[in-house]
Chains A and B, each alone.
Chain A
Amino acid sequence: MARMKFICDAERCIECNGCVTACKSEHEVPWGVNRRRLVTVNDGKPGERSISVACMHCTDAPCMAVCPVDCFYKTEEGVVLHDKDLCVGCGYCFYACPFGAPQFPQAGAFGLRGKMDKCTFCAGGPEENASAEEYRKYGRNRLAEGKLPACAEMCSTKALLAGDAEVLTKIYKTRVVTRGKGDEIWGWSMAYGGSGMLADQPGGKA
């Protein structure tokens, strides 16, 4: 069984925001909610690099651990999803998440939080696959259609990769070997534990 993960290759990302736009368009996420965002380091200076950040679908997901109503679940492919019917909008997942993935529509008075929204790895929610209800709450379920997440599919430089971890690390390894530098995978240590170094990943071994 595949273990779904994201890799963002800072050596390739050109901060075009194509992934952000693809995500918003694919799932018709409401105003103020950004399931994916770009963060640029050294903006406008030598050595500028960008990273596309969304839910990393962590191994020991902090959101799952702290949710007071236990609304999160993990698919067989390692995708962390949640049930919006159970979510109470307390914001605890937002306190716990290191990547800033949980989003809350703050349309209500006094900053009252609505139901949490986050990246689903284009895998929908607990509703029936490809149902109208699922689309309304979580957006399109591309995984059920046999497709990969829209953000990575859209990425013009293939900086953002989504899919089975072993396949991703193999692709990343060929890049690292060609470039001859930079064998740390951004965010992996935080999301999946361990070192985050390519050599320590299943597909990254020599």
Chain B
Amino acid sequence: MTTRIARGLGALVLALAAWLPIAACAQQAAPAAQSAASPQQAASQWNQPPAWNDVSGKGQYASVPGRETNILIQGAGHEWRKLSNGPITFLGGIILLIPLAILVLFYLAKGPIKTHDPLTGRLIERFSSVERVAHWTMGLSFVVLAITGIVILFGKHIILPIVGHAAFSSLTVLSKNLHNFVGPLFIFALVIFITLYIRDNFFSQGDSAWFGKFGGLLSGEHVPAGKFNAGEKSLFWVLVVGICTVMSVTGLILNFPNWNQGREAMQLANLIHGGFAVLAIAMACFHIYLGTVGMKGAFDAMKTGYVDETWAREHHQLWYDEVKAGKRPEKIVAGTAQPATGD
């Protein structure tokens, strides 16, 4: 009997001994489990880094309607500001001055490029009226966009100190509106231009030789070329098809903030637009130079649509030969009253 009692007590003691540490553990564990589940405890992380950093950039709930109103902080604007005010403005300004310096020096050293032989007075149609209208719509709108863009990007540093805040603001309002409304016209003309001119701008056999001698620009050597020489073709593909298309897409993103794009898209579009704009203007300077003061007879080609036979033979011999052989749509117009081009 006593042994049974002793056994019973022993079991009780054992049971107690086994239970006590478990109970103690449970008592310690209970608040910890509660803290993980209770909202009050979870909230203790707020106003403690990095709690806000983790949520600030992400879309949350906002009762105020509108695009991105539910984002607390969009920090990428700082990066945009650094790049826009830094390299785009500073390096961009330098890149714009380089072609001007080169062209002024080239003009002073070599003067305009003239034809070697006298003009014949026989004219060849070079550009149809449709081609000229497309070129000038694109070209003039490009110039308007370039000038107004320069006012917006650099005006604060070069015009504002001279004319003052009020006058510069009026100029910039005008520039901004011209830029925004001429932009879509430029894109329209760009599409037409590419469609009309792409046919004669595919690279062909003589082009590598032209590149090798750089068109004889420095040596004065004669390098035969098709309707467009390799330099013009490069400009077509790089500037018109490449850069201008990128500028059009980024321009539309910036021009229509009522589409649903966010700030990040506009920051990126603005940087690309500004960077490529500077390159585009720098490249266009060379084209504008050669099309006006740099080469006798070139401007008339786009103004009247006709060039002199001598000009065609000396600058675009392969094209001239084809026209003469009757392989091209362009025709030679015999004998006008006076030589209209190239003198």
Interface residues of A (CB under 8 A from B): 9-11, 15, 17, 20, 32, 34, 37-41, 43, 46-47, 49, 51, 53, 62, 65-71, 83, 85-92, 94-100, 104, 106, 110-113, 176, 181-187, 190, 196-197
Query: Given A70-B160, A111-B257, are A34 and B152 also a contact pair (CB < 8 Å)?
Result: no
State how many residues of chain B have any CB contact under 8 Å with chain A: 56
**Distance, CA A112 to CA B176, complexed state (A):** 11
Q: What CA separation (Å) do A46 and B34 show in the bound complex?
A: 14
Partner of B156, one of A49, A70, A98, A182: A70
In the assembled complex, the Cα of A56 lies from the Cα of B101 at a distance in Å of 45
Contact B259 A47 (CB under 8 A): no
Residues of A contacting B: mostly: loop
Option from A10, A20, A86, A87 in Cβ contact (under 8 Å) with B64: A20
Instruction: State in angstroms the CA–CA spacing of A39 and B172 once bound together.
Output: 35
**A190 in complex: contacting residue of B51, B71, B75, B80, CB < 8 Å:** B75
Q: Which residues of B are at the interface with A, using a C-beta cutoff of 8 A?
A: 38-39, 42-49, 51-52, 55, 60-64, 66, 68-75, 77-78, 80-81, 84-85, 152-153, 155-156, 160, 165-166, 168-169, 172-173, 176, 180, 254-259, 263, 266-267, 270
Give Cα A53 to B180, complex, Å. Answer: 31
Known pairs A47-B39, A66-B84, A181-B44; A94 contacts B263 (CB<8 A):
yes
CA distance A48 to B122 in the complex (A): 84
With a cutoff of 8 Å between Cβ atoms, the chain A residues found around residue B176 in the complex are 88-90
Contact B75 A98 (CB under 8 A): yes
Contact in complex: B71, A34 (CB < 8 Å): no
Contacts A71-B169, A85-B169, A95-B77 given; indicate if A186 touches B52 (C-beta within 8 A): yes
- B-chain residues with CB within 8 Å of residue A39 when the two chains form the complex: 60-62, 69-72
User: Does B69 lie within 8 Å of A34, measured CB to CB?
Assistant: yes
Q: By the criterion CB–CB under 8 Å, are A100 and B71 in contact?
A: yes
CB neighbours (8 Å) of B63 from chain A are: 15, 17, 38
Task: Pick the residue among B64, B66, B81, B172 that contacts A65 (CB under 8 A).
Answer: B81
- Which of A10, A85, A90 lies in contact with B152, CB distance below 8 A? A90
Given contacts A41-B60, A47-B46, A90-B152, contact A95 B267 (CB under 8 A): yes
Of all A-B residue pairs in the complex, the 5 with the closest CB atoms, nearest first, are: A111-B258, A182-B47, A46-B39, A43-B61, A37-B64
